[in-house]
A and B are shown apart, each in its own frame.
Chain A
Amino acid sequence: MSAIDLAQVTIARGGREILRNISVNIRRGEFVGVLGPNGAGKTTLFRTILGLQPIQSGRLEVFGAAPRRGNPAIGYMPQTRIGQTGQNLRGFDILANAANGHHFGLPISSRVIRDDVAAALQAVDATELAARPIATLSGGQRQRLLLAAALLGSPKLLLLDEPLISLDPAAQASIIALIHRLAETRGLTVLFAAHDINPLLGVMDRVLYLSGGNAAIGAVDEVVTAAALSKLYGADIEVIRAAGRIFVVSDTADHHHECGHA
């Protein structure tokens, strides 16, 4: 049974085709790393699955149905972070609001919602953090709160848009371990967008590589090869494996930058 099924899907934004004729099937319970250079369409793909971005052509199903806004089966961790505004608010209140914020009414929460928030906070080990104003939290601590927000309402699918950005290696390892443990125990399907493939080696079942409007999905050993990536990027790409790590390198400077390295 598939969680997400894209068949010959084309997604355009502002008159530009971001993803062209891609076919990808993601099974329930799979942990998929979503890799690719900036602007390859990782965020656009997530927004499409969330029902925020229409598809131009093809067929897209999320748990067997057309994507729709506010789908409670999806937990989302956006790339632009909470805390741009409302820096002085404590995490708990932000989460409680996120749990039922799409309904009209006063910003007060029922017992049920407070319990849901408390459980989500406990699942990410952030109960104490949630009592503090978010301005005082580190990047990794904020990510834990965002992850808790994504877990509200017990979704079946997590869309995580670059949760590792601006985290140090220790914080990266701890957030990945946390997400992996949650996915295993709850049987969640996870799409994990990342800039660098290395932190995800060992936790992801398959990798979805996006570049130049194309997509390639498969086991790391199938997709992250010089031949497969060169075809995807339409440029000469070298893949170097050393010390248990993978380095994706191209001759042109900008590709070298985009592919990421440890």
Chain B
Amino acid sequence: MNAAMLEYDFMRHAFAAAGIVAILSGLVGYFLVLRGQAFAGHALSHVGFAGATGAILIGASPLAGMLAVTTLGGVLMGALGEKLAQRDIAIGVILTLSLGLGLLFLHFFTAYATQATALLFGDVLGVSVNTIYQLLLLTTVCLTILAVISRPLLFASVSPELAEAKGVNLRRQSLIFLGLAGLTTAACAQIVGVLLVFALMIGPAAAAQRLTTRVIPGLALSAGLALAQAWTGIALSYLTDWPASFWIAALSGGTYLLTLALIRN
């Protein structure tokens, strides 16, 4: 690999930001895929788009707007119950509504067309040091929460009736987890954009769950794949001058398709 790319500040920032977010996305994504809530995660990112554009409109930080709205959206989805979070049509409606709303906010603030592209498709090469610190803080908070709830979350996800009988509060697990998924989505969108959060949150986790039947290796593999794909994507973007988000999405999708072809269940 071309070591010269690390001489640029923007490249070092890109690797740092993408690395932080990839690990978080891989771990939270593992549970999203396990719970069959991948589509809910995708919808959250679109809700985040409306939040970010709304924040721009009122002069606030897009990341703050996105965080507020995705977390709220996740908690709401969780509060409405597992069943809603898995209901395609309700989620699809929320998704389109949010994207439309985001578009309307942008319409009122036409000067920010480049910002729209950055929100939708990510702008990993434009990450500031400040953003890296924000992402680091966010990731630390999210991973701490995940570390505390991961065991009952797994129980509630895989054997809900047993978990309930053992005293696990299913509603609370769902609520906390989707709130966490909302935060992760907002972080992830900083790197690959709201339209491509699947690339880091779902692709690596889905591939990892095909590659191992064990939980801890699965989590490690999911985070590892997300990290490898994010960093390779950025490096390829440097070498080819194509968008990093494209490369990350291509690597994520390609890896998953490869596991489909190689491993038959």
Does A149 contact B147, Cβ atoms closer than 8 Å?
no
In A59-115, which residues have CB < 8 Å from any B CB?
Answer: 69-70, 74, 76, 78-80, 82-83, 85-86, 88-90, 93-94, 97-98, 100-108
Query: Counting CB contacts under 8 A, is A158 at the interface?
Result: no
Closest partner residue, chain A, to B216 (CB atom): A108
CA–CA, A98 and B161, complex, Å: 11
- Determine the chain A residues whose CB is within 8 A of the CB of B214 once the complex forms: 89-90, 93
Does B151 contact A89, Cβ atoms closer than 8 Å?
no
Closest partner residue, chain B, to A70 (CB atom): B167
- Determine the chain B residues whose CB is within 8 A of the CB of A105 once the complex forms: 147-148, 150-151
Query: Counting CB contacts under 8 A, is B130 at the interface?
Result: no
Query: Counting CB contacts under 8 A, is B171 at the interface?
Result: no
Does A101 contact B155, Cβ atoms closer than 8 Å?
yes
Query: Counting CB contacts under 8 A, is A240 at the interface?
Result: no
Residue in A50, A76, A136 whose CB lies within 8 Å of B265: A136
Nearest-Cβ distance from residue A2 to partner chain B, whole angstroms: 21
Nearest-Cβ distance from residue A155 to partner chain B, whole angstroms: 11
Decide yes or no: A69 and B165 within 8 Å by CB, A93-B214, A107-B151 being known contacts.
yes
- Determine the chain A residues whose CB is within 8 A of the CB of B159 once the complex forms: 78, 82, 94, 97-98, 101, 149
Closest partner residue, chain A, to B166 (CB atom): A102
- Determine the chain A residues whose CB is within 8 A of the CB of B156 once the complex forms: 101
In A123-151, which residues have CB < 8 Å from any B CB?
Answer: 132-133, 135-136, 149
Residue in B147, B155, B218 whose CB lies within 8 Å of A102: B155
Decide yes or no: A106 and B265 within 8 Å by CB, A69-B167, A97-B154 being known contacts.
no
Query: Counting CB contacts under 8 A, is B157 at the interface?
Result: yes
Query: Counting CB contacts under 8 A, is B168 at the interface?
Result: yes
Does A102 contact B167, Cβ atoms closer than 8 Å?
yes
Does A106 contact B147, Cβ atoms closer than 8 Å?
yes
Decide yes or no: A98 and B162 within 8 Å by CB, A88-B213, A89-B215 being known contacts.
yes
Contact mask B131-170 → A, CB, 8 Å, 1/0?
Answer: 0000000000000000111111011111111111111100
Does B150 contact A135, Cβ atoms closer than 8 Å?
no
Query: Counting CB contacts under 8 A, is B35 at the interface?
Result: yes
Main secondary structure of the interface of B (DSSP, over half): helix
Nearest-Cβ distance from residue B181 to partner chain A, whole angstroms: 15
Does B165 contact A101, Cβ atoms closer than 8 Å?
no
Does B265 contact A107, Cβ atoms closer than 8 Å?
no
CA–CA, A104 and B167, complex, Å: 12
Number of interface residues of B (CB under 8 A): 32
Does B34 contact A85, Cβ atoms closer than 8 Å?
yes
Interface residues on A, range: 20 to 34
- Determine the chain A residues whose CB is within 8 A of the CB of B164 once the complex forms: 52
Does B35 contact A85, Cβ atoms closer than 8 Å?
yes
Does B215 contact A93, Cβ atoms closer than 8 Å?
yes
Does A52 contact B209, Cβ atoms closer than 8 Å?
no
Closest partner residue, chain B, to A159 (CB atom): B165
Query: Counting CB contacts under 8 A, is B36 at the interface?
Result: yes
Residue among A74, A90, A102, A105 with most chain B CB within 10 A: A102
CA–CA, A97 and B34, complex, Å: 14
Nearest-Cβ distance from residue A127 to partner chain B, whole angstroms: 15
Closest partner residue, chain A, to B168 (CB atom): A102
Does A101 contact B213, Cβ atoms closer than 8 Å?
no
Residue in A74, A78, A97 whose CB lies within 8 Å of B151: A97
Nearest-Cβ distance from residue B27 to partner chain A, whole angstroms: 11
Nearest-Cβ distance from residue B144 to partner chain A, whole angstroms: 12
Decide yes or no: A70 and B216 within 8 Å by CB, A97-B158, A101-B152, A101-B155 being known contacts.
no
Query: Counting CB contacts under 8 A, is B210 at the interface?
Result: yes
Does B165 contact A89, Cβ atoms closer than 8 Å?
no
Does A70 contact B163, Cβ atoms closer than 8 Å?
no
Does A85 contact B157, Cβ atoms closer than 8 Å?
yes
Residue in B149, B151, B166 whose CB lies within 8 Å of A70: B166
Q: Which residues of B contact A (CB under 8 A)?
A: 34-36, 147-152, 154-168, 209-210, 213-216, 218, 265
Would you list 17 pairs from A and B whose C-beta atoms are within 8 A, ordered by A residue?
A69-B166, A78-B162, A80-B160, A82-B159, A82-B162, A85-B157, A85-B158, A93-B215, A97-B151, A97-B154, A98-B159, A101-B168, A102-B163, A103-B152, A105-B147, A107-B151, A135-B265
Knowing that A98-B159, A98-B162 touch, tell me 4 more A-B residue pairs with CB under 8 angstroms.
A85-B34, A89-B34, A89-B214, A132-B213
The 9 closest A-B pairs by CB, nearest first: A101-B155, A70-B167, A78-B161, A90-B213, A86-B158, A102-B166, A82-B159, A69-B167, A133-B213
